[in-house]
Amino acid sequence: MSDLPPPRSWLFVPADSEKKIDKALGSEADAIIFDLEDSVAPAAKAFARDLLKELGPRHGGPRWWVRINPMFAPEHREDLKLFSKAEFEGIVLPKAESEDDLVHLAHSTGSIPIHAIVTETPASLFNLGSYKGTQAPLAAMSWGAEDLSSALGARSKYAADGKLAFTYQLARSLCLAGAVAAGAQPVDGVYTDFRNDEGLKEEARAAASEGFTGKLAIHPAQVPIINAAFTPSDTEVARAKAIVDAFAAHPDAGVLDVGGRMVDRPHLTQAKALLARAKR
Ligand code: COA
Ligand code: MG
C-alpha cells in the first residue's frame, strides 16, 4: 500500500457539485473524498460519476479518494468502473458490516486501498474485531453516527448533557481499537456543527490524544483546524526524540527514565510512530 503518511484531514465533497469540487481541489486537505453516496441525490448520481470521469490529471494537492455507494445499492457496480482512473488513490466504502465486505469488494477491485466506514449499521458494531488480519487492502477505518442513529430509530445522537450518547461513544472507541488492531489508520468521524470552530478544535484534539490520526471533514474551513490538531507539536516531537535517543543509547534496556518519567517499549513504539507522522 501507499508509503505516504496517513491523511490528517479527509474532506468530503459532493461529487455532483463542480463548484465544491474546484474548491476542494484547491484546499489544504490531505485527502479529498469525492462523494457519490449520501450527499448526492439518486437522480444526480450518474452526472456525478461523469464529472469524476472528466477530472483532468492530478497535479499535487490533496490525494483523491471516492466514496462509492454501498454493496447492496444499485449504483455500486457502476461506481466501481471509475477506478480504472489511476488518479484515484482509493475507495471509501460506506456501511461496511464486517471484514467479509472488504474481501467481497477486493474481489472486484484488487489491490486498490480501502477506507471503510465501519459503524453505520447496527450489526456492524458486533464485528469491529473482524478486520484484524484481513487479506483485503484495508488502509483506514472511520466511524459514523448519522446513519447508525437513523438505523437504530434514535431521536437524537446526544445524551441529556449534550455529549454524544453512550451508543455512539462505544461505536467510536470500537472503531479506534478495531482499526489499530487491523493495522489501519483510525479516522475520527465528522463534526457536523460546521460553523463551530471551537467545538471542532476541542473534538479533533481529543481524538488525536486518544490515538486517531485523522478526521473526516465536511467543509473546507474545517481542514486547517483538523490538520493542526493532528500535527504533532514541537514539544511532542522533542519528547519522542528523547525517548528514541534514550533507547538507542541503551539498546538492551527494557525500561528507562526519560526526563523524570518512566518509559518502556510501548512508549518507544509510540514515539517512533509520532516521529513518522511529524515528517510530512
Ligand atoms: N467541499 C468543497 N467546497 C465546499 C464544501 C465542501 N465540502 N462545503 C462548502 N464548500 C464551499 C461552498 O460551495 C462555498 O463556495 P463559494 O465561496 O465559492 O460560494 C464555500 O465553500 C463556503 O461554503 P458555505 O457557504 O459556508 O457552506 P454551504 O452552505 O455552501 O454548504 C454544506 C454547507 C454542509 C451543504 C457543505 O459544506 C457540504 O456540501 N458539505 C459536504 C457534505 C457531504 O459531503 N456529506 C457527506 C459526508 S457526511
Ligand atoms: Mg451516510
Domains in the chain with CATH codes? 9-229 (3.20.20.60), 234-278 (no CATH)
Q: Cα of 7 to ligand 1 centre, how many Å?
A: 20
The ligand placed nearest to the CA atom of residue 117 is: 2
- For residue 28 and ligand 1, the question of a CB distance below 6 A is answered with no
Q: Cα of 16 to ligand 1 centre, how many Å?
A: 12
Give the global pTM.
0.95
Q: Which residues of the chain have pLDDT under 50?
A: none
Q: How far is CA 70 from CA 11, 103, 112, 114, 131, in A?
A: 19, 14, 16, 13, 18
- For residue 23 and ligand 1, the question of a CB distance below 6 A is answered with yes
Q: Cα of 170 to ligand 1 centre, how many Å?
A: 29
Per DSSP, the three-state class of 129 is coil
Alpha carbon 162 to chain centroid, angstroms: 24
**Which ligand 1 atom is the nearest neighbour of the CA of 32?**
1
Find the helix packing angle between 222-229 and 197-210, rounded to 10°: 30
Q: Which amino acid is residue 80, in one-letter code?
A: L
- Choice from 16, 20, 117 to test ligand 1 binding pocket (greatest atom count within 8 A of CB): 20
Residue nearest to atom 37 of ligand 1 (CA): 219
Residue nearest to atom 2 of ligand 1 (CA): 20
Residue nearest to atom 27 of ligand 1 (CA): 219
Residue nearest to atom 17 of ligand 1 (CA): 23
Query: What's the pLDDT at 1?
Result: 57
The ligand placed nearest to the CA atom of residue 35 is: 1
The Cα–Cα gap between 106 and 100 comes to: 10
Contacts of residue 276, defined as CB under 8 A and 6 or more positions apart, other chains included, come to: 5
- For residue 89 and ligand 1, the question of a CB distance below 6 A is answered with no
